[in-house]
Structure 1
Amino acid sequence: MATKRKAGSSSIGDLNNDFLEFTNLGAGNEVGRSCHIIQYKGKTVMLDAGVHPALNGMAALPFYDEFDLSEVDLLLISHFHLDHAASLPYVVQKTNFRGRIFMTHPTKAILKWLLADYVRVSNVDTEDQLFSEKDVSASLERAEAIDYHATIEVEGIKFTSYPAGHVLGAAMFLIEIAGVKTLFTGDYSREENRHLMAAQIPPVNPDILITESTFGTATLQPRPEKETRLTSLIHSIIRRGGRCLLPVFALGEVQELVLVLDEYWHNHPELHGVPIYYASNLAKKCMAVYSTYINMMNDNIRKRGTERNPFELRYVENLRSLDKFADLGPCVNGISRHLLEKWVTDVRNGLIIVGYCVEGTMAKHILTEPAEIQTMSGQKLPRRMTIEEISFAAHVDYTQNSEFIYANEATHIILVHGEFHNMLRLKSALKSHYKNEKTEIHSPRNCEMIRLEFKGEKVAKVMGTLAKYKPQEGDHIDGILLQKDFQMSILAPEDLEEFSGLNTTVIVERQTVAFHSSPALLRYHLESMFGAIDTVVADEKRPTFRVMDCISLAFVSEYRLRIEWIGNLMNDTIADAVLAIVMSAESSPASVILTSQPCRHAHITPTERLERIRMFLEAQFGEEIEYTDIGVDIKVDETIAKIDLTTLQVDCLSGPLKDRVVHTLTRAIETISPFAEASLPWNGVEYTNGDKFC
């Protein structure tokens, strides 16, 4: 189910809402500015905060204006590439974001250098600058570093990170909110390369899988074949006296390629005189990070690291600048745009594109093998150098992606991070596979929200002393229901502190009021409302009554009455009713008749007696009484009790109301009938409860 509206404007904060909402703020039917929002049960998770590599300034950002970032509880950064992490300083320093931020240790270490370089490049045009170096430092101070397989809980949201391949420190995140599990792959690779392990399949199947679709249904060459083809092309360019240019757009690919070339040069002595350069201060700084975190790489690197750090390169050099470069003979170089313009006109030279190219970039354009290129100064040069493409981008192809998707058995699959046509082809292929199953495939555009319904049962886990009890059939368990976020437990009161750090407290409510009538009169009114009243202390002048086994009333002196009860919702309600009776007992019409009028009962007429019966009923039920030709109708909460005053029969569908009316009527008759029983109109008639008043 998909709907278009402004994200974050629903009532998703309602804990009883069974809909999970997912919105792309970026990377919806595109590659770049990765940013996704998950909302469920009042919790909000943000996945990645990137920029678009083909755009500048505010246009490069995800659609942050379409969402209230103050709602975000948690931001997870999958890896350090700019299209997944470069807008982090903007989010932290320029918006109302207040959540916590998590990423792996290598991601945080390398992101520091990448963002500093991004600020330096952006300073070329200050109008496009999104943030400063100070903003970078402040945002990374907020970021918390985690290890693979560590499970963290934040505000009721649990998440675990797993290796994703792709680049050093890249992580997939398995997120759980109220029992619903979501796996976000980020960019991932299921093929082990020279230094990285393959992405792991989590041990728990998710309900929702959010996966990249970069290559759609394309199938890539196996890595050994790509390495062989790369080294063969480079060797052939060198043999013909040319220079080889390898533009590398992303860290991770740099490290992979230098490991391949360093080993190939080592195995081919005839190439030892041909220099290999990578000309990037950023890459040099990050090499130190790679050298530090070899323990997070694959077995091959870890074993080699016991003898010599694999990133201490033997044949690959760092070139500080073009000024230090003597362009005199065959070489392999990573300086891209400047050398492209110098070498593009020589047929002996070669360009090999080794990464994924985003629409709108120079790299994407040159893959079309144009007849000429335009320089940064506007000059047009003929293109004579050869152009080849060998993708070393560490993304899954269709075979790897589909196998991973099938293995996770998610009921909802959300495709992100893919150009429209690639994503469409992958979606179609997956639908064909799942055509006879209930699995749903989604490919939302940016700012297009999808709502997924999850109805789960609420389960409470019995813990502590109660867990040892083995109930028999018919038994019931009494305990305290404890809920923390979305986890519920049932505990014995004595176990509460051990399992939760909380203590039980009993609050005794006590109120003392003035009461100038007799205990007998008070008892009469209490029984009229509550039925039988227990006498705890049978002192004629200072008795103690117990109402409904929860409210105690004690005469502490001749004219002072103390009311006491244990505070809770039910007891407080009953105590309010008791207090109302106590405060009105002295002035009620029934009390006046019982205590202040001369005794004239033997001389009253039947009409007077009926009038006094009505008076008792009015004192108890107030304005809810309606008089009929033969009796009285009492209406309480849409329920009616009918009294026939000629027979004293009570007719009512509600048992509790009928009992209450019968009790009030009985008290009224007991008060009046003994004094003039011979002339009562109901003389000799059997009453509804079986008593005879004759």
Structure 2
Amino acid sequence: MQITSHGAAQVVTGSCHRVVTQEFSFLIDCGLFQGGKDLARRNFEAFDFDPKVLDFMFLTHGHIDHCGLIPKLVKEGFSGKIYATPATADLIPIMLRDSAYIQEKDTEHENKRRVRAGLAPRDPLYTSEDVEKVLPLVTPVEYRKHLKLGNTLEFILQDAGHIIGSAIVELLITEKDEQKKIVFSGDLGQNDVPIIEDPTLIEKADYIFLESTYGDRLHDTRLPRDKQIMEIIKNTIGRGGKVFIPSFALERTQELLYTLSELQTKNPDFPKVPIYLDSPLAIKVTEVFKNHRDVYDADAKARTDQPFSFPGLKCTPKTEDSKDISKSDEPSIVIAGSGMCTAGRIRHHLRHGIGDSRNTVLFVGYQAPGSLGRVILDGAKEIRMMGRVFEVRSEIQRIGSFSAHADQKGLTQWLQAFTPKPRKVYLVHGEEGTIENFAKHLNDLGFTTGVPKQNETIHIE
């Protein structure tokens, strides 16, 4: 058996792992590289394998860094089934259609520049038509359902507790009359967060491919995050400002809405200002959350109200509505994408508001190196955006505990549930320094670790 990491190897994005057995060749995820230009260029490089020979793939969840290259994969010949949970299956058309739209618009803008420079135009990475060819391949599989493929492969999708529909992939592979269990964690969530269940604990595995996004740090626990966000909102609104929250359309936005609805219900002094959900993509994704109460945790199921529709919340799918928000001087809370400020409506809000000291930019998600969000978070006094330079005068805040990823403590606790210890734990989906530190931490606890490099093949006898 051979396993090759074609993405998320010493980087956080572009998740893609190829498994080759005596009977099958298949992928775990096929995600877009996100972040700076160097990472983004990888999306246009040729795959290091032939998509036509793949038999099928498993998709752990609907984040673009895990699914965003599937249209390119299909465009280049992949035609197998894509196994995913029902919630992920519902998210795929929304996420990929939006991604294709961005690819087409970015290419259109780039080609105008290339024509002026006398260069030949480029084709987009993939188009809306390519996305439509993906959708018939998506095959929903319920959590905890034990299925067999061919003569040598069995699999189970377990709840990863990361976002709605996220899955851990358990593989039971038989070769030479010996069965081995390989577990791909996907992205693991934190325990005790709203809406979805905690990550499923698994007791046995021979080899584990474990995400490491926050493997060398602990999430901020100085204050419960509802108190932190309440404090930031009250301070900002109190000085007549706006709270801009760059937010990922999938999961982070819904968790924010859930938290804001609870704060509004339980706190009479919650500022009575408009809360704008200014993201067409997030509005569509929120409808999927409404339709999948079956995977809510007990607390969310027990709520009698609708946590994604509450007084003061205004959804603004139209561009004209978004422009009105930017022009308005009234205090408000604005949730908009993209989560790393690399695209989307948040950039227009920052253009109009980041130079106003009354305002606050609140980061609640991971900011990849090279992204505009990371530049702002790292303390830049000026930012370049839309061909102009803007002075940063707004207050910059970050709440790390909103992360959908488990931190070092959470990852370690999940791993320690395996008894006996796995033969080896391969660390993926993390920045190089983070993975090295996490590997040392796990080695000190008696685990044997490995850190795959990009396109490195691991041979499992």
TM (norm. structure 1) is: 0.59
Q: Answer yes or no: is the 8 Å Cα contact 1:346–1:384 preserved in 2.
A: yes
SS in 2 for 1:334: strand
Q: 1:473-484, aligned counterparts within 5 Å? A: none
2:204 counterpart of 1:205? yes
Q: Which residue does the alignment assign to 2:251?
A: 252
Residue 420 (structure 1) aligned with residue 432 (structure 2): yes
2:125 is aligned to 130
Q: 2:449 aligns with which of 427, 441, 444?
A: 441
**Aligned match of 1:52 in 30, 33, 37?**
33
- Amino acid in the other structure paired with 2:153: I
Q: Of 297, 309, 314, which aligns to 2:311?
A: 314
**Which amino acid in 1 is paired with 2:8?**
A
- Which of residues 386, 391, 394 is equivalent to 1:382? 391
Q: Distance in 2 between matches of 1:380 and 1:58?
A: 23
Deviation per CA, 1:405-455: give whole Å up to 9, x if none: 122221110111000000010011111221xxxx531111111112232xx
Q: Select which of 45, 48, 51 maps to 1:66.
A: 48
Aligned to 1:686: none
State the secondary structure of the residue aligned to 2:230: helix
The equivalences for 1:294-373 within 5 A come to: 294-304=293-303, 307-320=304-317, 321-325=321-325, 327-335=328-336, 336-373=346-383
Q: Which residue of 2 aligns with 1:632?
A: none
**Which residue type is aligned with residue 72 of structure 1?**
L
Asked if 1:164 is matched to 2:160, the reply is yes
Shift of 1:63: 6.4
Specify the SS of the correspondent of 2:246: coil
CA shift for structure 1 position 250: 4.2
How many residues are matched? Answer: 425
**Contact 1:25–1:64 (Cα < 8 Å) also in 2:** no
Residue 277 of structure 1 aligns to a residue whose secondary structure is: strand
Unaligned runs of 5+ in 1: 1-19, 454-694
Q: Output aligned runs, 1:291-690, within 5 Å.
A: 291-304=290-303, 307-320=304-317, 321-325=321-325, 327-335=328-336, 336-376=346-386, 378-391=387-400, 392-408=402-418, 409-434=421-446, 439-453=447-461
Quote the Cα distance in structure 1 between the aligned partners of 2:286 and 2:36. Answer: 28
Structure 2 partner of 1:103: 84
Amino acid at match of 1:136: V
1:334, distance to aligned residue in structure 2 (A): 1.7
- Greater Cα radius of gyration, structure 1 or 2: 1
Q: Pick which of 378-387 and 409-418 moved more.
A: 378-387
Contact 1:370 1:383 in 2 (8 A): yes
Letter in 2 for 1:379: R
Do the aligned partners of residues 151 and 75 (structure 1) sit closer, same or farther apart at CA in structure 2, a change above 3 Å counting?
A: same
* Cα distance in structure 1, aligned partners of 2:104 and 2:403: 28
SS in 1 for 2:441: helix
- CA contact under 8 A between 1:109 and 1:289: conserved in structure 2? yes
C-alpha distance after superposition, 1:363-408 (max 9, x if no partner):
01111111112231x2222211111111212101011111111222
Q: Within 2, Cα distance between the matches of 1:222 and 1:302?
A: 26
Q: 1:70 to 1:223 in 2, by over 3 A?
A: farther
List per-residue Cα deviations over 1:210-244 (Å, max 9, x = no partner): 11000122011349712211221121111121111
Distance in 1 of aligned mates of 2:366 and 2:36? 16
User: Within 2, Cα distance between the matches of 1:198 and 1:224?
Assistant: 21
Of 70, 73, 76 in structure 2, the residue corresponding to residue 91 of structure 1 is 73
- Name the counterpart of 1:266: 265
In the TM superposition, what is the alpha-carbon distance from 1:65 to its structure 2 partner?
A: 2.9
Alignment partners' CA distance in 2, 1:354 and 1:235: 17
Tell me what 2:227 maps to. Answer: 228
**Cα gap change, 1:341 to 1:218, in 2 (>3 Å):** same
Residue of structure 1 aligned with 2:19, choices 35, 38, 48: 38
Partner amino acid, structure 2, of 1:195: I
Paired position in structure 1 for 2:112: none
- Structure 2 unaligned blocks of 5 or more: 109-121, 337-345
- Relative distance call for 1:61 and 1:375 in structure 2 (3 A) is closer
SS in structure 1 at match of 2:273: coil
Asked if structure 1 preserves the Cα contact closer than 8 Å seen for 2:249 and 2:281, the reply is: no
Distance 1:110 1:92 in 2: 18
Cα deviations across residues 555-603 of structure 1 (Å, max 9, x unaligned)? Answer: xxxxxxxxxxxxxxxxxxxxxxxxxxxxxxxxxxxxxxxxxxxxxxxxx
* SS across alignment from 2:47: helix
Residue pair 1:159, 1:175 contacting (<8 A) in 2 also: yes
Report what 1:183 is aligned to.
Answer: 183
Tell me how far apart the structure 1 counterparts of residues 45 and 147 of structure 2 sit (CA, whole Å).
28
TM-score (normalizing by structure 2): 0.88
1:177 to 1:224, Cα distance in 2 relative to 1, 3 A: farther
Q: Which has the higher contact order (CA 8 A, sep 6+)?
A: 2
Q: Which residue of 2 aligns with 1:195?
A: 195
> CA offsets, 1:657-694, max 9 Å, x none?
xxxxxxxxxxxxxxxxxxxxxxxxxxxxxxxxxxxxxx
Shift of 1:328: 2.5
Q: Is the CA contact (8 Å cut-off) linking 1:213 and 1:418 kept in structure 2?
A: yes
Counterpart selection for 2:139 from 135, 144, 157: 144
Deviation of 1:89 after TM superposition, in Å, equals: 1.4
The answer to whether the 8 Å contact 1:25/1:62 transfers is no
Tell me, in whole angstroms, the C-alpha distance in 2 between the residues paired with 1:106 and 1:379: 40
> Where in structure 1 do 4 or more consecutive aligned residues deviate above 6 Å?
none
Deviation at 1:43, TM superposition (A): 2.6
Distance, in Å, in 1 between the alignment partners of 2:42 and 2:396 is: 29
> Which residue identity is paired with 2:43?
L
**In the TM superposition, what whole-angstrom CA distance separates every residue of 1:310-354 from its partner, at most 9, and x where no partner exists?**
323333221233234361221110231111121111111111110
Q: Secondary structure at the match of 1:153?
A: strand
- Residue 272 (structure 1) shift: 5.2
Aligned-pair distance for 1:160?
0.2
Task: State the alpha-carbon separation in 1 of the partners of residues 370 and 406 from structure 2.
Answer: 23
Moved more, 254-263 or 367-376: 367-376
2:231 is matched by which residue type in structure 1?
Answer: S
Question: 1:339 corresponds to which letter in structure 2?
Answer: H
Structure 1 residues 42-81: Cα deviation after superposition (integer angstroms, max 9, x where no partner)? 4323100100122679824396532233342230000000
Instruction: Please tell me the residue identity of whatever aligns with 1:161.
Output: L
